[in-house]
Structure 1
Amino acid sequence: MVPIYIVDAFTDKAFGGNPAAICLLEALSDEGWMQKVAGEMNLSETAFVAPREGGYELRWFTPTEEVDLCGHATLAAAFVLWRTGRLGQSEVAAFWTRSGVLTVALGEAETEMTMDFPSEPPAPAKAPEALIEGLGLIPRYTGRNRMDYVVEVDSEQTVRGLKPDFSQLSLLDGRGVIVTARAEGQAAYDFVSRAFYPKGGVQEDPVTGSAHCALAPYWAKRLHRDELIGYQASARGGFVKVKNTLNRVQLSGQAVLILRGELEEFNQ
């Protein structure tokens, strides 16, 4: 039997934020098996965690493919390790991943966790026709990093009101599209965003930690502050605190355990 958990990340309330499935393995399994499990879970990410010297191996799968970087499932994986006693409260979770070694530390109040991730700032790019058609607008700014397109639009209202054409967005190269705008009024956050990944089997991701690896340096430059709060305005919604350091981004948030169970091993 394989222990499996579902955790809502980047939220302090059940059924908010972004759900991730976390499988705790004795050793990483066959890629085909892990992909089948992720397809069965049908969440934006299923993470597979296995112990190794100095920490844990960590891999992330959408329902259709493996990805290079995922924030909410990393936060959820660390949360499960602390919650199950596999890590002590004062220990830092260290994960070996496709994007290098990522660490997660538990705050003093033991409710908020902080991840240390690579900074992924976008560079200015020309907006492809499929991006314009897919979003139904001409962006104020279009950028690109190694994973995603980053699009700034004219207002928070525009971000919230988007109804993308996912068939067009799926034609784009890269992983997906992040749409963002500066917060309006006296909001409790500095910028708002939504993230779309139809190519990877996820039309809209509820709260995307890795997207904030691009949003954090982008808005730090625009707002002249290194510490900011982002709100991802999906139907579930969630907050991500960000802090920019040299070539790194600290992403902070909370998590809620939703389900714990056991997965039959079948043929791994």
Structure 2
Amino acid sequence: MKHETNRPVLRLAAFSDGGEGGNPAGVVVDDALPSDAEMQRIATDVGYSETVFAAPQDDGWRVRFFSPKEEVAFCGHATIALGSVLAERESQGLFQLDLNSGRISVEINEDGSATLMSPPAHSAGADPSLLTAALELFDLTVADLDPALPPSLANAGNNHLILALGDRLTLSKMSYDLDEGARLMRQYDLTTISLLWAETPRRFHSRNAFAIGGVAEDPATGAAAAALGGYLRDIRWPHDGEINIVQGEDMGARSLLKASISAEPGDGIRVSGMTRVIGG
């Protein structure tokens, strides 16, 4: 029988830029997970793009993620927030997390940042019909894209469409219809549509449309950062093992993410960032 939680929801912003920015996440840690209906209710009440729920299980923690609309297979920023909460609670630094799709880990570093190891990362070229629909959604054309970074469907726990743009100005103008975006993302099983601009081979600016979760975009998206890292490895981009991502600037919530990329195809991606506690 599922346990209905009375534990308060903790609120943290993950991938913050010092004491500002980051993506807010709700965190609930209890002796057992609440029912599905109760987790959905809590996530809807909290209203953040995701709330994470965790309970002890065997040698790790059973973890599930809910947006205000539905359950999400994997959420990077909520995992980073959870790692900070568990470190404070358990006085240790490495945690094994059992998701619906498998086991990942999160650890706390000496500088206070948290690092998650994503699920296996892989990518493939974007379906032409999806690309056509996505370009129409954002009022873009093929000429707006960066030919060095071809459109791709990338996965490191869930699906993200990657669209790399040719300049920063086009990225800053990102706009789309929320309902139409949610329909498209459900049709193609997407968690976000990731619009990017490569300032340098190792520094990216990102905006992630998250209509399926009920919000226009996330200020920081660890799952998409992991998917991007796997994609860059697959296309043999000159990342030298690490990239930095600036996200949320155009929302007024500048966020910083770092992705460390191993050379082994299919391996998970290590995504790191700072957290800060925010008000209830």
Calculate the TM-score normalised by the size of structure 2.
0.84
In 2, Cα distance between equivalents of 1:33 and 1:167: 25
Q: Which residue of 2 aligns with 1:100?
A: 102
Q: Which residue of 2 aligns with 1:223?
A: 238
Residue 167 of structure 1 aligns to which amino acid in structure 2? D
Q: Which residue of 2 aligns with 1:144?
A: 153
Contact 2:76 2:221 in 1 (8 A): yes
Measure how far apart 1:202 and its partner are. Answer: 2.1
- How has the CA–CA distance of structure 1 residues 183 and 21 changed in structure 2, closer, same or farther, with 3 Å as cutoff? same
In 2, Cα distance between equivalents of 1:103 and 1:7: 19
Contact 2:15 2:255 in 1 (8 A): yes
Contact 2:53 2:64 in 1 (8 A): yes
Partner SS for 2:231: helix
In 1, Cα distance between equivalents of 2:258 and 2:231: 14
In 1, Cα distance between equivalents of 2:66 and 2:212: 13
> Which of 171, 187, 195 is residue 179 of structure 1 equivalent to?
195
Q: Which residue of 2 aligns with 1:206?
A: 219
Partner SS for 1:79: helix
Contact 2:13 2:276 in 1 (8 A): yes
Measure how far apart 1:14 and its partner are. Answer: 4.0
Measure how far apart 1:165 and its partner are. Answer: 2.9
In 2, Cα distance between equivalents of 1:13 and 1:240: 12
Measure how far apart 1:56 and its partner are. Answer: 0.9
Calculate the TM-score normalised by the size of structure 1.
0.87
Give % identity: 29
In 2, Cα distance between equivalents of 1:40 and 1:15: 23
Return the structure number with greater helix share. Answer: 2
Instruction: Describe the superposition over 1:34-54 as per-residue Cα deviations: whole angstroms up to 9, x where unpaired.
Output: 101100001000111111111
> Which of 5, 8, 12 is residue 3 of structure 1 equivalent to?
8
Q: Which residue of 2 aligns with 1:68?
A: 73
- How has the CA–CA distance of structure 1 residues 153 and 198 changed in structure 2, closer, same or farther, with 3 Å as cutoff? same
TM alignment of 1:107-186, pairs within 5 A: 107-109=109-111, 111-125=112-126, 126=128, 128=130, 129-139=132-142, 140=145, 141-146=150-155, 147-172=159-184, 173-175=188-190, 176-183=192-199
Q: Which residue of 2 aligns with 1:258?
A: 278
Q: Which residue of 2 aligns with 1:18?
A: 23
In 2, Cα distance between equivalents of 1:170 and 1:25: 32
In 2, Cα distance between equivalents of 1:115 and 1:22: 16
Q: Which residue of 2 aligns with 1:34?
A: 39
Measure how far apart 1:99 and its partner are. Answer: 3.3
Measured on the aligned residues, the alpha-carbon RMSD in Å equals 2.0
In 1, Cα distance between equivalents of 2:193 and 2:52: 22
Contact 1:134 1:167 in 2 (8 A): no
Show structure 2 runs of 5+ residues with no match.
1-5
